[in-house]
Amino acid sequence: QVHLRESGPGLVEPSGTLSLTCTVSSGSVRYYYWNWIRQSPGRGPEWIGYIYYSGSTNYNPSLKSRVAISADMSKDQFSLHLSSVTAADTAVYFCAVGSGWQRVFEHWGQGARVTVSS
């Protein structure tokens, strides 16, 4: 059974940095793609980026200048940092893992609601 849990502040001030951590429990199964996805109210999901088990990263070009994803594989945790946030970054943020590059969102966390407001 795969279990993912997002954690972090639910409120971030405009121009600040949004930081979230995902803790992965996957037993003996190895997932190679660790992703962040967000969903704004009333809209479909938007892929933010992933970190591969080797440590390499790949980001959505529309967010690339503001995003950093890092991981501590020994703790089965990975983190999202999104800088210079505005109200448009208010969303539910999900972490998700996958076993292949065309199967990157196999299992999802429950999501963390983040509001950008002063």
Partner 1 sequence: QPVLTQPPSVSGAPGQRITISCTGSSSNIGAGYEVLWYQQLPGAAPKLLIYENSNRPSGVPDRFSGSKSGASASLAITGLQAVDEADYYCQSYDNSLTGYVFGTGTKVTVL
Closer of 16 and 57 to partner 1 (Cβ): 57
Q: Give the separation between CA 6 and CA 87, rounded to whole angstroms.
A: 20
Q: Are 16 and 60 in contact (CB under 8 A)?
A: no
Q: In the bound complex, what is the minimum distance in angstroms from residue 69's beta carbon to partner 1? A: 13
Closer of 44 and 55 to partner 1 (Cβ): 44
Name which of 56, 51, 62 is nearest 21 in CA terms. 51
Within 10 A of 106 (CB to CB), how many other CB atoms are there?
A: 15
Q: In the bound complex, what is the minimum distance in angstroms from residue 103's beta carbon to partner 1? A: 5
Binding site for partner 1 (CB under 8 A): 43-47, 58-62, 94, 101-111
Q: In the bound complex, what is the minimum distance in angstroms from residue 54's beta carbon to partner 1? A: 19
Q: Give the separation between CA 57 and CA 7, rounded to whole angstroms.
A: 21
Closer of 62 and 70 to partner 1 (Cβ): 62
